[in-house]
Amino acid sequence: MDFDRLDANLARVAVSKVFEGIGVSIEWQPYGHFCPVASGAIAISLSYDTPWNLFQGALAYALPYEGTHIVVFYDRVRESVEPARVPCLLAYVIVHEIAHILQRVTRHSASGIMKAKWDHSDYFDMARKSFHFAEEDVDLIHLGMDWRQSRVTAAGTGPQDHRDGYAPGGRSESVD
């Protein structure tokens, strides 16, 4: 199964819009460009031939305590919806996993983007662009962003002011 760059580009735009809605900007890096882990960047990998017994039923996983890696089961995403809806589902899968990394926890919410298992109603809301984070998830994301920024700033390896990508009044996260 080939990587569909159009799916990925459409998903990137949607991911950015979801996070902009909660005051977080995403700084995307070019495909194949790897930022040093110390930079605070989050690396997203796509799996095309996911073993059936690896996180059964999941569309992706993140390593929130490690803080930098996400694996999206792209083959499962493509099998879950009709082709025209792949970019939308891919976007929300990525949003969900980035949120785990930013929140630094594996918890799930009763509703919204951080719900453990999405249903047809959630897919409908995604398509309508009315699928959002629960308020507690937004709070946890911002707390996690503050923690990440303090670590990156203390290490002297990341953005420390708006000239380096950290926007005053907002938050910025670099994603490979």
At 108, which CATH number? 3.40.390
- Give the whole-number percent of the chain exceeding pLDDT 70: 80
* Angle 122-46-139 from CA coordinates, rounded to 5°: 50
Residue 46 dihedral angles phi and psi, to the nearest 5°: -110, 135
- Give the whole-number percent of the chain exceeding pLDDT 90: 68
Confidence of residue 37 (pLDDT cuts 50, 70, 90): low
113 Cβ contact list (under 8 Å, min separation 6) = 18, 92, 95, 96, 99, 131, 132, 133, 134, 137
pLDDT digits (tens, 9 = 90+) for 111-148: 999 999 999 999 999 999 999 999 999 999 999 999 98
More confident residue, 169 or 48: 48
25-39, 100-114, 158-172: least confident range: 158-172
- Containing structural domain, residue 92: 5-175
Q: Specify the number of domains making up the chain.
A: 1
Average pLDDT over residues 37-51: 84
Q: How many CB atoms lie within 10 A of CB 1?
A: 11
Give the span between the Cα atoms of 31 and 43, in whole angstroms: 11
Q: Are 113 and 95 in contact (CB under 8 A)?
A: yes
Give the span between the Cα atoms of 10 and 83, in whole angstroms: 13
Average pLDDT over residues 150-163: 55
